[in-house]
A and B are shown apart, each in its own frame.
Chain A
Amino acid sequence: MPVNLKPTDVVIVGLGAAGGVAVLPLTQAGLDVIGLEAGTWLRPDDFAPDELRNNFRGWPQAVQKANREIPTHRTSSSAPTSPRLLIHPMMNAVGGTTLHYWAQSWRLNPWDFKVVSETTRRYGASRIPKGSTIEDWPFGLDELEPYYDKVEYEIGVSGQAGNIKGKIDPRGNTFEGARAREYPMPPLRGTGFTEMMGDAARKLGWRPFPGPAAITTRAYQGRTGCAYHGYCARGGCHINAKGSTAVTTIPKAQATKRLSIVSEAHVTTIEVGANGRVSGVNYIKGGTEYFQPARVVLVASYVYENARLLLLSKSKAFPNGLSNNHGQVGRHYFSHNQIGSVTALFPKRLNNWYGLPAQGVAVDEWADDNFDHSGLDFIGGGNLWVYSDRRPISAAGMSTYGKAPRWGAAWKAFIKQNADSWNVSYLQKTTLPYEANYLDLDPTVKDPLGFPVCRITADYQENERRVSTFIQDKMVEWYKAAGATATEKTGMGTMGPTTHAYGGTRMGDNPETNVVDKWGFSHEAPNLGILGASVMGTSGARNPTLTAQALAWRTADRLAKNWKNIAT
């Protein structure tokens, strides 16, 4: 029998990007919150600039809970299982993957909330790809704007606004929806390379702009400005310039004395009472089983674990898994179409050795519905992004663009000349949910405790392939305008485990097709809330984290303001 703990108001499963934000409005509203986190605290001196460890050996994921339960993948229900990843793309820690993410902190564009109605209005309903289960969000960008704003100011997002209350500023993204005010900090600085790329974009008639990042560009709330040292990607920040929830919202919540953090807590199941309401969660820490009763449970692990935890939590009221009486848990899963890229070779050194993936220049002309799709055979598009980031092992692992062999004297002479002369772009593209793509429990693969791991059955469809081809061509055009002498396109991969996973507990008004309501609470178990990108029904063409965080704040705010209704 598990050890029964003292009841609390709210228990949150996972203190990463989403859970780590939600604790702040909850505790500030006077609620007692227990945060259960599978990882531990990590500190600035844990984050050495060590490419081998961070980028090739998967530290710290390699030693964590997540790595013992890496989802399996197959491209369709009749396909064989794909080779399993060796390192989980996400990490466990207080702060979760915000400790070492790229920290690009975009708001979605207005179109991303209204893909079905806007596509139908502009091009006709027949343009919604066949087999897609896409729906409009239950609200528009204007509803989420105040929460984007709160998160941007709490975690500290730097950037250049392009639209303040309808006033367009061409220095920023002119396609963004209206925001109430400027970013709290100016954008990360430009570099020789990003300025060269910006000039090339303007030559093409495009409007390049610096992207938003949860990274300080000056002293902000006790943290210092970014040092641009070059080990930001999959490396935590040695000076806390990265706005991880571990150094922003979580410490602020702790200061209220209402947040209690239990680290190295492995949550196994959510308990349900006879009335169909959730009553708390079971977890294991140090070999002991505990039951933490709570009036409200917020699940905030990650897309795969959110769905898995619900599916593992079977009860009399929910025989097929918690909140799954409509069979929607695991449905509408997709992983972002972000792998298909373009690399380029330039006839000179770019000096990209320092910087960070968030220090770059973006082009949004070809994203979402920012261009006319009348004569095209797809909907959506992609955001083009180039940045200053290079480390020696990956630099030497460059393509030789057909100009040299893979090894030996000629290869060595080639990389000596070119290791700092190539670049790789980051192209995030519209991705849709489909009937054929879903998450469930793997019938054979289990974690060390004997619980089945999450199984992904998903692959890109024709719309994603067409978007990818179109966007890669645009990127080639941009690189050539900047003087690239050679370009190469990379494959788009498949929908296996990724840092940009969506769906599985989608948000929407219709309980027949969605797990949570427009506030993020279960349609079936009213005191269960779900946080993270698992509630998102569209991806847009940009990183999901800020949207997941704004949604988490909104759900927490809803809970705090309607405590009695939701908790009893």
Chain B
Amino acid sequence: MDHSDDILVTRRELLKRVGVAGAAAAVPIDAIAQATREPFETLTAAEGATLEAIVARLIPTDASGPGAAEAHAARYIDRALGGFLAPFLVAYRGGLSGIESYARTAKGAPFTQLPAQDQDAVLTDVESNKGFPAAGLFFNVVLSHTIQGTFCDPFYGGNANFVGWDLIGYPGIRLTATANDQRMDVSPAPTHMSAYDFSMFSRKKPDAR
């Protein structure tokens, strides 16, 4: 399926929204491309951009390897907010806008445009329940969903290219593990398969949201 039209619409939407904030010129075009890799299904483009920026700090891309951005953890959360995590949608809407408002108040710019260390400072405050009502609770929710989105079966949109499983050395799904696979001195080779890549399970897929 070709999403290029959607991406254009989403990008225009993002520009419009960022423009409303009066900072369109400051947004590097690469950042927009990154933030709009795929259209969001549940969140608005602006909310999605904030969420992408948050997860990229919770599990950053650095010398130890790809992080939540490469895992597409935000895509996982966005999809799930239209499905199993729908009861959290209101909390996300409030929390994401709370983080943006707090970033402007505390650091003078939208969260998505702050340098990493300022983003971390904002998130540290939010974690300790500063910035908006129930901020700490929201932080915990986003953190646990970011971990889900980074380490879940790729079927759900996160853990793209198995970057999460590779990060922690999970050798992947095997329908049979041998005695040798359970020795302490071995590292079984990664299988890089989703549960639903196995023909046995591909016929009864759950709701991917």
Residues of A within 8 A of B (CB): 44-46, 48-53, 56-57, 59, 189, 191-193, 196, 227-231, 238, 348-351, 353-355, 388, 391-393, 395-397, 406-409, 411-413, 415-416, 419-420
Contacts and interface: CB of A to CB of B under 8 A. Distances in A.
Given A48-B204, A351-B183, A406-B143, A415 B153 contact: no
Nearest to A414: B64
Nearest to A352: B182
Given A227-B175, A412-B62, A196 B200 contact: no
A52 B182 contact: no
B19 interface: no
B200 A420 contact: no
Contacts of B64: 409, 412-413, 416
Interface string B157-198: 001000011011111011111110111111110000001101
B183 to A, nearest CB: 4
Nearest to A359: B182
B169 A349 contact: yes
Given A408-B57, A419-B168, A396 B182 contact: no
B151 interface: yes
A229 B174 contact: yes
B3 interface: no
Nearest to B76: A52
A53 B206 contact: yes
A392 B60 contact: no
B25 to A, nearest CB: 30
B84 interface: yes
B174 A412 contact: no
Given A407-B143, A412-B59, A412-B62, A354 B200 contact: no
Contact of A50 (B57, B153, B171, B183): B153
Contacts of B170: 353, 391-392, 395, 419-420
B86 to A, nearest CB: 12
Given A49-B195, A355-B182, A393-B152, 10 more contacts: A45-B201, A45-B204, A50-B201, A229-B175, A353-B170, A392-B151, A392-B168, A395-B151, A397-B144, A409-B62
A192 B183 contact: yes
Contacts of A411: 59
Contact of A49 (B159, B175, B183, B186): B175
Most buried by A among B64, B120, B175, B195: B195
B184 A351 contact: yes
Contact of A189 (B165, B179, B204): B179
Given A351-B183, A392-B164, A416-B65, A408 B58 contact: yes
Contact of A407 (B59, B168, B201): B59
B29 to A, nearest CB: 26
B185 A192 contact: yes
Given A45-B201, A395-B168, A192 B60 contact: no
B182 A192 contact: yes
Contacts of A409: 60, 62, 64
Nearest to A394: B151
Contacts of A348: 184
A354 B174 contact: yes
A350 B184 contact: yes
B156 interface: yes
Contact of A393 (B151, B167, B171): B151
Contacts of A46: 204
B10 interface: no
Given A191-B183, A406-B143, A408-B60, A51 B175 contact: no
B177 A228 contact: yes
A53 B52 CA distance: 23
B173 A416 contact: no
B54 to A, nearest CB: 10
14 contacts: A45-B201, A51-B153, A52-B148, A191-B183, A192-B183, A193-B184, A228-B177, A229-B176, A231-B173, A351-B187, A388-B182, A408-B120, A412-B62, A416-B168
